[in-house]
Each structure stands twice: as C-alpha cells, then as structure tokens.
Amino acid sequence: MGAVVGNTSARRKAGYLILQAEGTFDINTVMAGILVLTAFALVLDAAVGKVEKRLMKWQPKAGETEKL
C-alpha cells in the first residue's frame, strides 16, 4: 500500500493509474496495476537479496555456529 501511496503524486505513475481506475470502477485496470506493482516489487526484492548475499559472505549461514 505504501508503494501505491508513494506513486499517487505524479500523474503518469502506477499508483495514480490505480486510483483513477478505482474511481471509475475499472477493475481490469486496477488489477493490472496491482500486478505490475507486485511484479516490480518481487524483482526488486530478488535483486536486493542477491546483493545482500554477495555482500554478507562473511556471516555464518543459518543454523551454523561460529567456530572458535
């Protein structure tokens, strides 16, 4: 919901499109906008996860303990 609210300030962004479609009861456009935002969020999350994994190589894996 934060991404939608953040996108409402500009006239050409997905959040504004969703809000306009919601106002005219255009469910197809609302669902398409939500799917686009969801896909973008998933891609961004995967990219951040890969960067995090690469930068945090020094941390022990889940379930491992530090060897002294």
Write out pLDDT tens, residues 13-66: 777 788 888 888 888 988 988 898 889 899 999 999 999 888 887 777 777 676
pTM over 0.85: no
Q: What is the pLDDT of residue 42?
A: 93
Residues near 33 by beta carbon (within 8 Å), at least 6 away in sequence: 14, 15, 17, 18, 21
Sketch the domain layout of the chain as residue ranges. 2-55
Higher-confidence position of 2 and 65:
65
pLDDT at 3: 52
